[in-house]
Structure 1
């Protein structure tokens, strides 16, 4: 039986490629984004297998309407891909008031609210699969990524807890942690930088921006290949909880594991010294 997918942030990039791969696999897709006309134009041959809906994940009324329309059309939701998001990059002290709130409103609270809206259906079905698109920024904090990384770290912690809560209902959760992929993530239309420029940070801030600019559209990751893996994961009876997508992501994860191990060993003797006496 074909699956019914719901994909947020499906207008372009990884989200659009996941829609393409799911349709090619014979599944039905609810593709959502702020510009559903763009989605319809990209998948004009999908016919009744595609439902394109307007969805800004920061607006709860649009989330509720999208889930209702999906169920009215297809009757169920088997796979939820929480992909909508953007990058608030730059040095923390150069960020403005509200930058972090806007970042979390989309990357974290938007993801929370879409998941909350879909879970009742999956619980009723006693089956479902949630893929939360995180990032290597959710594994390792980086220079110029304090706000973006913190939002992805939040997604990581949420997913680890959620996976335990919904497992009794036959619902699986996977964290997808992409490295650098050839999308428009670093385009000026997608990424945001702080506007509170400070002289003390001028040199390093310029290095960060130039580094991202030089890397843009030269990233090693292929979003179409990632989408193919995502469809493969959706067909597994026991999908993995964590998937580091890309050779660079795997290296980041391995380095983080090694660093944590070394840090634990360096302070292990001190750990029991704070235990109370009973």
Structure 2
């Protein structure tokens, strides 16, 4: 089953797979549409074996530039909607003791950059929720994989998937401002191949022992390794102070 706010965008997949595909319109922030989509899936296929939470968009703003309505809308789509969909399919998966949930996060759910703070918030939240959920359902025959892509050549950096704050503060031009410029300039020039990324996700889900955290894209791997090195160096340097806060017997 395939869903999208605009089902016409999925026409090529329908033509390729014919009756094997059911396409249903879905705005993940609208509960009535979620209910109808789930009911349609059950009516056609009898159950949901795999849920892929891939809906989302980006929002660039320095923290001070963030607009309240835009911030809340981002959380509704990128974090709260995936949680809602997971809660929709989990009862059936628990009953069958079988299923897999895939949450598409971002390397931005593991590392941070100026100007991307609000997007980092929702993706860090998705990473934490996925990691927790994986522990909760591990004994129920249900797998959870959270995917952290690097920069893939999709429409994500285009005008339909990337929003920019209308508030621009000049003092942030060399930090958040650079992120705005770089994101727009990198559209359609990303190193990641979407088809190969999809193959990697399928491979992870079908593995005998599916992993919880999947990085896709060499750039994502390089960024995470750099962060791990930095965190290790910082925590090691401050170890004495950290341990000094414990009670002394």
3-state DSSP of counterpart to 1:124: helix
Tell me the CA shift for residue 261 of structure 1.
Answer: 1.2
1:206-252 per-position Cα deviation (integer Å, ceiling 9, x unaligned): 43322112211010000000111112122112111111101000001
Which has the higher mean CA deviation after the structures are superposed, 225-234 or 141-150? 225-234
Query: What residue number does 2:150 align with?
Result: 179
Contact 2:116 2:176 in 1 (8 A): no
**Poorly superposed stretches of 4+, deviation over 6 Å:** none
1:20-41 per-position Cα deviation (integer Å, ceiling 9, x unaligned): xxxxxxxxxx111101232235
Tell me the CA shift for residue 192 of structure 1.
Answer: 0.3
In the superposition, the TM-score normalised over structure 1's length comes to: 0.85
Query: What residue number does 1:10 align with?
Result: none
Alignment of 1:67 with 2:42, yes or no, is: no
Query: What residue number does 1:235 align with?
Result: 206
Contact 1:95 1:193 in 2 (8 A): no
Q: What runs of 5+ residues in structure 2 fail to find an aligned partner?
A: none
Tell me the CA shift for residue 277 of structure 1.
Answer: 4.8
Structure 2 residue corresponding to 1:161, chosen from 132, 137, 154: 132
Give the superposed CA RMSD.
Answer: 1.5
Alignment of 1:110 with 2:81, yes or no, is: yes
Contact 2:215 2:221 in 1 (8 A): yes
Q: Distance in 2 between matches of 1:143 and 1:198?
A: 13
Alignment of 1:88 with 2:59, yes or no, is: yes
3-state DSSP of counterpart to 2:102: strand
Query: What residue number does 2:228 align with?
Result: 257
In the superposition, the TM-score normalised over structure 2's length comes to: 0.95
Q: Distance in 1 between matches of 2:202 and 2:173?
A: 44
Q: Distance in 1 between matches of 2:230 and 2:11?
A: 46
Q: Distance in 2 between matches of 1:66 and 1:115?
A: 13
- What are the residue-to-residue correspondences of 1:260-275 with 2, within 5 Å? 260-275=231-246
Which has the higher mean CA deviation after the structures are superposed, 77-86 or 228-237? 228-237
Tell me the CA shift for residue 84 of structure 1.
Answer: 0.3
- Give the length in aligned residue pairs: 249
Query: What residue number does 2:167 align with?
Result: 196
Pair 1:204–1:269, CA change in 2 (3 A) = closer
Query: What residue number does 2:28 align with?
Result: 57
3-state DSSP of counterpart to 1:153: helix
Tell me the CA shift for residue 120 of structure 1.
Answer: 0.8
Pair 1:144–1:212, CA change in 2 (3 A) = same
